[in-house]
Amino acid sequence: MALKTGQEYMDALKQLKPTVYYEGQKIDCVVGHPLIQPHINAAAMTYDMAHDPVSEELLTTVSHLTGKKINRFTHIHQSTDDLIKKVKMLRAISQKTGSCYQRCVGFDALNALYSTTYDMDAKLGTDYFKRFTKYLEYIQENDLMVAGAMTDPKGDRALPPGKQEDPDMFVHVVEQNEKGIVIKGAKMHMTGMVNSFEMLVMPTTALSPDDKDYAVACAIPVDAEGVIHIFGRQSNDKRKWDQIDQGNAKFGVVGGECITVLENVFVPWERVFMFGETQFAGLMVERFASYHRQNYGGCKGGVSDIIIGATAAIAEYNGAAGASHVKDKITEMVHLTETLYCCALACSCDGHQLPSGAYYVNPLLANVDKQNVTRFIYEICRLSHDIAGGFIATMPSEKDLNDPEIGKYMQKYLKGNGKFTTDERYRMARLIENMTGGTALVESMHGAGSPQAQRVVMARQANVEYKKTLAKRLAGIESEE
């Protein structure tokens, strides 16, 4: 089976037995749990849209390994057209869910590992690429959702992995034998981990020769022995037991992140794709990060489309849609959204082929794209708050709205334009609150790396010396070279 449906994805999840905790309580099954089901619904959309004639071209492609039709989230980019379709796909899914659908991190990890293992084998004579392509065929054939696991706890940020007081602050190898390796540590901010099938563990930073034990990349089932997932809090997460107050009841907010603890987890050699090759850790990190930062103009473009629509609707419900300043602010929201999208397309169009045959984005433009997201989303949300009004942050609960005694006051005093019901205004306000609140903004700022991480790559990719040469030539200054 190369293409699951959303229902088949959920049925397959029920067969897994991951160890998941929330607020000190163990969750026996993630499917159907009020806290996690919205995230599962969002991920299921990536499966269902692959069967929809309208979106099939974006959500599916042909495997370059097997020639079979596969979900694009398991594909290795074979052209700049693939990179462009990825961005268009992400925007299209976001327009359906209004939230994170969680498969991007694993998608980008697959592509980063594919090209980096090829380069390692070419230089070092290892056989990682052969191992990885066999694993990739398994992922494609079974249409498995993969979680990318890169970010380590890091401990004291002033110290490298090997100098930490606690060596577990970065995932590392603690044992090896003829069958495989044993790793220990933890991975943070794991988007979609508890409702994935597999995780790809990668280094989180460039490494020195002294950090060989930390240069490890491998694949692990999410329910492997020794793997513990601790599900994180989100803004207003207790509302997931309500309906209207959730805002986006079916698909939730962001991606359902967790801390994943790796407590002496065994990994067989066939699932190990880096083992001590410190000189390739930085390359793997940068390729993954650039692929992942490419995404944000697409997915956040789609989310912003919904925020714009919700803001325009609430302006009508408030009776303010005709105001010139409201129209101008919505136009500015459109401008910012399309600027994000343009940058994601640009880094895709300007991609290039790597030695492995896979295609890679322009890393400078990919990092510019993500840097813009860390700013523009805040402005888009600010403008939405400006237009919607302060009531989106102070409304009583849906229980009050529906209460037989006090509901009449809610219906009376939360009404706006008489053409629309109080219920419509309340629901739209909750959607705006949900989509523009703290969790979504933090993810826009720090997802795929904090802003400084993009600035580091931009400075490295900018080729300022070449730009100085251009200026000197026009100024009539002889080059020193």
Catalytic residues: 100, 104, 191, 257, 292, 296, 299, 443
CA distance linking residue 266 with residue 160, whole number of Å: 25
Look up tokens 């066939």; give the residue: 270
Take residue 20 and report the two structure tokens written for it: 């998941």
CA distance linking residue 438 with residue 237, whole number of Å: 12
3-state helix, strand, coil in the chain (%, to 5): 55, 15, 30
Q: Are 105 and 383 in contact (CB under 8 A)?
A: no
127-141 b/e (C-beta count within 10 Å ≥ 16 → b): ebbebbbebbbebbb
**Identity of the residue numbered 245:** D
**Identity of the residue numbered 31:** V
Q: Encode 67-107 in three state secondary structure.
A: CCEEEHHHCCCCCHHHHHHHHHHHHHHHHHHCCCCCCHHHH
CA distance linking residue 468 with residue 81, whole number of Å: 33
Q: How far apart are the first and last CA of the chain?
A: 60
3-state secondary structure of 33: coil
